Chains A and B, each alone.
Chain A
């Protein structure tokens, strides 16, 4: 019995030893030595642990013995563990490394404006795009309120940092769109063919963009379509310019949306007098379809298609003798299709494949001659991206861009015809790595390599961007790169062997972004080479077209946005300074192009008034004089237009949860803005070229629309669409 008691005693001693509370304490700091507050510290596979205090200190007891694994975890830091052999008292200090959280970390900011991407570099949200006064819900219209763009009031396209309108390329889900703007009459701004409602994210790059995007000398407008809609709904829009009807059906793993629109400007033009002498006002029909199919856990198939037709006819009056007029009938047919598939490979890799096709014809029928222009193109692309290591991400891919364009001219009197055309396949491959040297310092290094059959040339385009975070909200960034683009269609059609045009960008950026305020300043230098020039006296001769042009653009862009200081209000101010000269096309000497103005200022102000459920929005735009060429003088592009001034207003009223009324007017002040002058091709009897000011056909544009949503969910409306 005694033995038994002894044995029990020993066992008890043994167990009490086992259950003795071992103390573990220490301190947790980051690599800079700063304490981590609230970090979770514990012994693996036990409940034993604690959180660090304000000094990063912790202490807890455990009943575990022997060798254990002590873990430290905290949001934003790498999980750290260490094996220790427990003694009655243990001191364990930890130094934990920051984990590179790509949402929080430094991002490439030079040259790029993000909208709706949810990242820190986001500048404009999709809602902002459509509520900007003066933009009339046009993507390019709203982006024109950002720095780096030029106010070219008669065009409607994006002119970026001294670049011509065709130097900005549009991509939808990574795939190129040809002819993204509608056909219009001279001096009437065009509109984008794609509704801003389609897109969840917009990245507007004014230079130095990723190697994934080629064939754009100045700017890439990257639009990403929405993911699968979750609600079945029907939308009806009644507008002064036409009507739109759309229906979206959503199933568990798929969705289908169909939309149709009819626009006719006859009623509007009969109410608001226009300068144009219309024979038949613009009338267009448009239909589109968007389908989404989820496959497996992460696969997403997106299909989009749009067809549209637009026709109008007008009289063009001779400048020398205005009684002489020619009827011009214009007919545009357009189709665009885009199919893409995205999926993940394993944990950290994703791949995207896609194919897009554009078809566009414009026919111009005059009394004595006809011109038909056909352009079509296909883009096939595959991209893979993923993490090579914790700190290095790779994006790589290959693509084929096939473009063909034809212009057919025929003169009725003598049956003379002439056709210019090109077919150009372009193969390209690209690779780019994002290297996080720390969560403060990111380097993006990459390049693309392309080959075109037209010039039988290889083109290499190295790109590099660096971004360094100088404070919690501040960073500086630098971007440099080489960009190539095939010559404009009208030039390339005449001479198929022309080289690509080239631009080199160098950009330095500083930005300060807090949750509701953004400040950015960006300086850049751009060098153009290989620009196509031709002799205006010999336009049908391919040999008269050469890559001997060049030019430069340099400037400073400033952006300030604040939606914090004034309650329910949001405003932004953009200023751009531009100095650019070039010799290209038919320029006899190096000169500033007619679309370029040295100073551009725009101020957008929006105020939401909850008591009357109404948002008021105004946009003020000021652009300094633009040059134009007067053939009655000897100096080229030496004359200056007056400055451009516009104040636009819009109002959105939420009548009920499903009805929105929207109205807008441009140029409230009624200023007669002059964009330049058009001169007669030959001098009149007095030997003078007769000029006419290029102005909008009406000083103001009025718009009124009612947008109605039908849905089972009462909270839905088209708020987002305005």
Chain B
């Protein structure tokens, strides 16, 4: 009789999603995200996240990552006229994501800050003031909830850097933020974050290198 149950038991988990399936699917797609270098590839990854989201109504991460994909599309698409479409979609996904009970408010606020920051680049002269305030607001709220989040610190550095460049003032404060962010990223790496957000370290490194090359000029 025992033999009868083994195949049955082996088969049963395949009929419904387990938590394990969810994490495996997410991880597989996160690996694809890391390799995506074109808007189309990002769209494919975002689509997969959205499919997972449609099936996993109690998870916040699929929509969060889909939103992240749309924000990243702006960095790969030179046509500024497309940006607002990506950012609108990202924001809509984030608003759905934050409704989920276990959503991480800090990560969502940080990404909303990122969305607002990219809006500025579409038309800095007109949008600068409104969206720099919006972005600063989101990041400040996130910072108050969790001062140790490396992504929040890194994005704050970006905002300071952009503002300093616009006004031609010193980027020291911004660069200090990138250095702080890098330390926080290194701390984050010591724990296994799994499928939880852990992006941003290469960007902090890149900005820090830019800071250092400037100060050497």
Chain A interface (Cβ < 8 Å from any Cβ of B): 4-5, 7-8, 11-12, 15, 18-19, 37-40, 42, 44-51, 63, 71, 73, 75, 103, 125, 127, 230-231, 514-515, 608, 610-611, 613, 654, 656-657, 713-717, 719-720
Contact = CB atoms under 8 A, between A and B. Distances in A.
B51 A613 contact: no
A438 B133 CA distance: 38
Interface residues of B, number: 42
A654 B167 contact: yes
A42 B44 CA distance: 12
A202 to B, nearest CB: 13
Contacts of B50: 40, 73
Contact of A719 (B7, B129, B136): B129
Enumerate the 7 nearest inter-chain pairs by beta-carbon distance, A residue then B residue, closest first.
Answer: A40-B47, A38-B43, A515-B81, A51-B44, A42-B51, A51-B47, A15-B11
B7 A715 contact: no
Given A4-B4, A8-B3, A51-B47, A715 B136 contact: yes
B158 to A, nearest CB: 13
Contacts of B80: 515
A230 B133 contact: yes
B157 to A, nearest CB: 14
Most A-side CB within 10 Å, residue of B89, B125, B137: B125
14 contacts: A15-B7, A38-B40, A38-B43, A38-B47, A40-B51, A47-B51, A51-B44, A125-B126, A657-B163, A713-B136, A715-B132, A715-B133, A715-B159, A716-B129
At the interface, is chain B mostly helix, strand, loop or mixed?
A: helix
Interface in B22-55: 25, 40, 43-44, 47-48, 50-52, 54-55
A713 B4 contact: no
Contact of A42 (B15, B54, B163): B54
Given A47-B55, A230-B133, 5 more contacts: A45-B55, A47-B25, A71-B54, A73-B50, A608-B125
Contacts of B4: 4, 7-8, 11
A611 B167 CA distance: 9
Nearest to B165: A610
Contacts of A613: 167-168
A11 B128 contact: no
Contacts of A46: 51, 55
A63 B44 CA distance: 21
A8 B7 contact: yes
Contacts of B159: 715
Nearest to A721: B129
Interface string B53-75: 01100000000000000000000
B27 to A, nearest CB: 12
A37 to B, nearest CB: 7
B137 A49 contact: no
Contacts of A48: 51
B163 A715 contact: yes
A18 B10 CA distance: 13
A656 B166 CA distance: 11
Given A8-B7, A73-B50, A613-B168, A19 B14 contact: yes
Contacts of B47: 38-40, 49-51
Nearest to B169: A657
A11 B136 CA distance: 60
Interface in B71-89: 80-81, 85, 88-89
Most B-side CB within 10 Å, residue of A7, A45, A515: A515
Nearest to A122: B126
B125 A127 contact: yes
B8 A713 contact: no
A44 B129 contact: no
A48 B50 CA distance: 11
Interface string B166-180: 111100000000000
B153 to A, nearest CB: 17
Contacts of A47: 17, 21, 25, 48, 51-52, 55
B86 to A, nearest CB: 9
A680 B202 CA distance: 81
Contacts of A19: 11, 14
B205 interface: no
A127 B126 CA distance: 6
